[in-house]
Amino acid sequence: MQSKRNFWLGLSAAFIAGLAVGALGGSYGSFRLAKSYFGSNWLYEQAKDVESKVAFLKTLRSDGQQETIEGLEVELDDDLISMQPDKFITKRTMAEIDTAVQMAKEYRLIHPRKSGRPMIDRMIVNLFANGYPEK
């Protein structure tokens, strides 16, 4: 009788432990998948924003509309420093980030500027000099 009881207790404990491990594993996998999807898509969109802003800035510079240009320059700075790749992003997104940063770097070589925000200026200089670290 005692061994039958121990058998059912052991089986119940193994079942409960299996449920707990399965639930934790499933939750972790779902979290990683969601983070990868949303982080990668957000960074992809940020890279596309940088590319379009560089194209827009080039057009505006030819017309000399300084106030609009400065507003876009500030947005460009903010977009550039916000794109911090992580290990969950896709290769497509990383390639888009690289393209966006290169476009911005080439643009800023032709049209250098100081933002009046020294910390932001240092971050942009470092980004252009070193790129984003590989993840």
- Mean pLDDT over the full length of the chain: 80
| 11, part of any domain | no
| 74, part of any domain | yes
Across 85-112, average pLDDT: 90
Spatial separation of the C-alpha atoms in residues 44 and 4, rounded to whole Å: 59
Q: Is the pLDDT of residue 135 over 90?
A: no
Question: Which residues form the domain of 102?
Answer: 36-130
Q: Is the pLDDT of residue 99 over 80?
A: yes
| 5, part of any domain | no
Spatial separation of the C-alpha atoms in residues 92 and 89, rounded to whole Å: 8
Cβ–Cβ under 8 Å, residues 43 and 85: yes
For the chain, give the percent of residues with pLDDT over 90: 21
| 121, part of any domain | yes
Looking at residue 70, what is its pLDDT?
A: 84
Spatial separation of the C-alpha atoms in residues 93 and 43, rounded to whole Å: 7
Looking from the CA of 32 toward its CB, the CA atoms found within 13 Å total 8
| 30, part of any domain | no
Q: Which residue has the higher pLDDT, 13 or 44?
A: 44
Instruction: Indicate the SS3 state at residue 111.
Output: coil
| 24, part of any domain | no
Q: Is the dihedral of CA 95, 127, 76, 105 positive or negative?
A: negative
Cβ–Cβ under 8 Å, residues 58 and 73: no
Global confidence as pTM: 0.58
Q: How many domains does the chain have?
A: 1
Q: Is the pLDDT of residue 115 over 50?
A: yes
Looking at residue 118, what is its pLDDT?
A: 95
Spatial separation of the C-alpha atoms in residues 28 and 22, rounded to whole Å: 10
Looking at residue 71, what is its pLDDT?
A: 81
| 23, part of any domain | no
